[in-house]
């Protein structure tokens, strides 16, 4: 599994990873054990507040994942309802993003990621939350509300046997193992986070994941004492059949809004 080189942990500047060449220059393969997540899910040993990820059965039809208007008008509302029910959030806001990933990407960032990374700058969760709240014309202040961002990832068309998703259990990730990087050739923004390799990290994947399943994992979290992020990537599974179909997947992201404990819960929550 490719991780950012350890040397970057000690440097003041951030590495730049924006192309295949820059990825190869700034990351190195590490030998890791990747565990099967299904037994933990079956034992109810996964949750969003500790491990930072869960696997759910969720049959849903996606007629054309490349039709943006269709995905946003049909798939987004379904997944929003799922996240509201799963998290108990007061509100669930889409971040205006979704990505279909395949073996024939249009550019570096919509292919399979082959290095362990996060999707946001963990030090600027407030800026991210404000931008999403503003986009939806909502009035959620940082003083009264908490925020958590999640990625909702599922296969399209076929069972995943090739290039499956792998992630780090958030409870096994130390804060000092996360550093910033720049996904651009020039300039100082945007900044994103990624982990250096740590011996205590435990990595998981879902073998033979189906299109009627969805993997939900944490991206950001403002509430104390909870999982913050699950770094993730794809990997070359040595057990994949040689004739396995190429993986196609869709991931979308939602920002969940929660009232801070020292404020009265909104009446709409009490009514549930």
Assess whether pLDDT exceeds 80 at residue 104: no
Mean pLDDT of the chain: 91
SS3 state of residue 14: coil
Say whether pLDDT at 39 is over 80: yes
Q: Tell me: the pLDDT tens digits for 147-182?
A: 999 999 999 999 999 999 999 999 999 999 999 999
Supply the pTM of this predicted model.
0.92
What is the CATH classification number for the domain harbouring 43? Answer: 2.60.120
Residue reference for tokens 């869960």: 54
Model confidence at 109, pLDDT cuts 50, 70, 90, reads low
Which residues, in sequence order, are CB contacts of 222 under 8 Å at separation 6+? 125, 126, 129, 146, 147, 148
Dihedral Cα 129, 77, 53, 263, nearest 10 deg? 50
* Domain limits for position 17: 2-270
| Contact (CB, 8 A) for 157 and 248 | yes
Is residue 67 very low, low, confident or very high in pLDDT (cuts 50, 70, 90)?
very high
Distance CA 124, CA 220 (A): 10
Instruction: Report how many domains make up the chain.
Output: 1
């Amino acid at each position: 599994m490719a991780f950012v080189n350890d040397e970057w942990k000690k440097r003041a500047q951030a590495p730049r990873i924006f192309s295949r060449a820059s990825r190869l220059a700034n990351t190195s393969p590490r030998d890791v054990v990747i565990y099967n997540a299904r037994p933990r899910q079956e034992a109810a040993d996964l949750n969003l507040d500790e491990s930072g990820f869960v696997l759910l059965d969720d049959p849903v039809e996606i007629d054309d994942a490349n039709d943006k208007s269709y995905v946003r008008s049909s798939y987004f509302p379904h997944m929003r309802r799922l996240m509201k029910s799963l998290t108990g959030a007061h509100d669930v806001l889409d971040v205006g993003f979704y990505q279909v990933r395949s073996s024939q990407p249009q550019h570096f960032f919509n292919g399979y990621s082959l290095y362990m990374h996060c999707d946001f700058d963990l030090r600027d969760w407030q800026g991210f939350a404000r931008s999403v709240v503003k986009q939806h014309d909502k009035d959620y202040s940082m003083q009264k509300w908490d925020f958590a961002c999640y990625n909702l990832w599922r296969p399209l068309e076929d069972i995943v046997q090739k290039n499956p998703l792998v992630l780090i259990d958030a409870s096994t990730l130390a804060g000092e193992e996360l550093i910033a990087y720049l996904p651009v050739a020039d300039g100082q923004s945007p900044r994103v986070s990624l982990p250096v390799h740590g011996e205590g990290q435990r990595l998981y994947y879902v073998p033979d994941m189906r299109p009627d399943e969805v993997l939900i994992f944490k991206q950001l979290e403002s509430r104390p004492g909870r999982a913050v992020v699950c770094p993730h990537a794809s990997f070359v599974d040595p057990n994949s059949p040689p004739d396995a179909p190429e993986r196609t997947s869709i991931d979308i992201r939602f920002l969940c809004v929660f009232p801070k404990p020292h404020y009265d819960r909104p009446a709409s929550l009490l009514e549930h």
